[in-house]
Amino acid sequence: MTSAGWFQAALRRIPGGVNSPARAFRGVGGEPFFVRAARGSRLETVEGRELLDYVGTWGPAILGHAPAEVVAVVQDAAAAGMSFGTPHPLEVEMAEVVCAWVPSVEKVRMVNSGTEATMSCVRLARGFTGRDKIIKFEGCYHGHVDSLLVRAGSGALTHGQPDSAGIPEALARLTLSLPFNDEEAVRRAFREHPGEIAAIITEPVPANAGLYLPEPGFLEALRRICLEEGALLIFDEVMTGFRVAAGGAQEVFGVMPDLTALGKILGGGLPVGAFGGRAEIMDSLSPDGPVYQAGTLSGNPLAMAAGLAQLRSLQRQDAWARLESTGQLLETGLQEAIAGKPLTLHRLGSMFCLHFQNGPIRNLTEARANDTAAFARFFHGCLRRGVYLPPSQFETAFLSLAHSPEDITETLRVAREALDESGI
């Protein structure tokens, strides 16, 4: 059956035909294609067409698709049992790696998704501080948690609904949503809600409204304000964790949060999440403390085996230096291709986004000024030529270690042709 046939079948049984809205192509028009296999830097559709992939299963495929070393350990782990419901050694090995690599994490707990990780961070921050309100930033997406799906990014933004139905107004009022890169707005919020704010949660590098960077000193200011006000600082590093550096964005920028949410790369392609931080905060979790959090499949042996294999492979290959080199090669070529055009390229390591407007882009308001119709034309121009980018202006693209110099050359050729065809 073709992709079109599978999509019609999906529409009959799955809301919108997809199990995650970001896959629906609503931001670019048309219908999604269906994949039957993936290897290295390439996807293979059900029709047998090969696509050069820059979505990387939305971030986890940092080694490329189906890396042999990860596949082998998953097969071995599955043969030993796919779930135990008891503690097992791989959980402890993973905890040791996370605590060794992520600068701020002294203790960590495994969960099953990035959404679970951020949800747990917020509950823990509220329980630890005894306060109810939280601050988040417009355009930062922290999963589909009720209290965090307020002025969010990712699929919610793509579909023109930064908020969601089903979230009680009373709960939404506990979330203060502010412009990113605006220190004064943060200070004003603390003045207006003295002693009420439990935490600030942020993507240190917002990557769900396109990609934009913290201005110099902004993350440091958040750290100072939280210390002054007795609130916790939470970094959502589900996307940046283990991707921009071994220790994530907090290593790159040298700012230590109190709690960190992790996911994506941590599972080697299998469903996983984690959250960790200072020991005194983490010890508030059940069974030692009063903050309850649990999960039957948390620390699943297949996910732990896959994640450990992926992280250790990254370490062996000096991955971050190699990814930076590939990213620089792509950036140089794209900057040449867009010279003189109303386009702006943002990149951090192996994460990048081509904004369809002149910069600077520092927050959600500026990101929403993108020419989404022009992006859609460019997206489909690339897809017709065999290059798959995220199907939304408000998502981030990813490089992997499997992307070769030849892949970059092919991508730059396709990008130039798609830009010319689009009349940009």
- Note the pLDDT tens digit of each residue in 403-423: 999 999 999 999 999 999 988
State the pLDDT confidence band at 164, using cuts at 50, 70 and 90: low
- Annotate 193-204 with DSSP letters as a single string: STTTEEEEEE-S
Query: What are the tens digits of pLDDT across the range 269-289?
Result: 999 999 999 999 999 999 999
pLDDT at 173 (0 to 100): 84
Whether the full predicted model's pTM is greater than 0.85, yes or no, is yes
Supply φ then ψ for residue 183, to 5 degrees.
-60, -40
Residue 198 has pLDDT above 90, yes or no: yes
Of the candidates 53, 136, 212, 236, the residue annotated as catalytic is 236
Residue range 83-102, pLDDT digits in tens: 999 999 999 999 999 999 99
Tokens 């130039």 appear where?
Answer: 416
Catalytic residue, chosen from 53, 212, 258, 264, is 264
Contact 273, 261 (CB under 8 A): yes
Kind plus residue range of the DSSP H or E element containing 337: helix 319-338
- Note the pLDDT tens digit of each residue in 333-382: 999 999 999 999 999 999 999 999 998 999 999 999 999 999 999 999 99
Tell me what pLDDT residue 317 has: 93
Closest to 359 (Cα-Cα) out of 210, 253, 156 = 210
- Write out the two tokens for 366: 């500026």
Closest CA to 211 of 374, 59, 382: 59
CATH superfamily, region 3-66+317-422? Aspartate Aminotransferase, domain 1 (3.90.1150.10)
Query: Which of 250, 320, 311, 255 has the alpha carbon at shortest distance from 98?
Result: 311
Contact in structure between 41 and 53 (CB atoms under 8 Å): yes
| pLDDT, position 143 | 85
Instruction: Please check the confidence at residue 157 and state whether its pLDDT lies above 80.
Output: no
* Residue 287 preceded by cis peptide, ω within 30: yes
Q: Any catalytic annotation for residue 292?
A: no
Residue ranges per domain, the chain?
3-66+317-422, 68-315
Architecture of the CATH domain 68-315:
3-Layer(aba) Sandwich (3.40)
Report the pLDDT value the prediction gives residue 160, as an integer from 0 to 100.
46
| Residue 153 to residue 110: CA distance in whole angstroms | 25
Q: What is the pLDDT of residue 423?
A: 87
For tokens 């005894």, the residue is 130
Is residue 398 within a helix (H) or strand (E), and if so which, with residue range? strand 397-398
Helix (H, G, I), strand (E, B) or coil at 385: coil
Residue 394 gets which letter from DSSP?
T
| Band (322; pLDDT cuts 50, 70, 90) | very high
DSSP 300-330: -HHHHHHHHHHHHHHHHTTHHHHHHHHHHHH
264 is catalytic: yes
Give the mean pLDDT of 318-324: 96
| The one catalytic residue among 141, 212, 258, 407 | 141
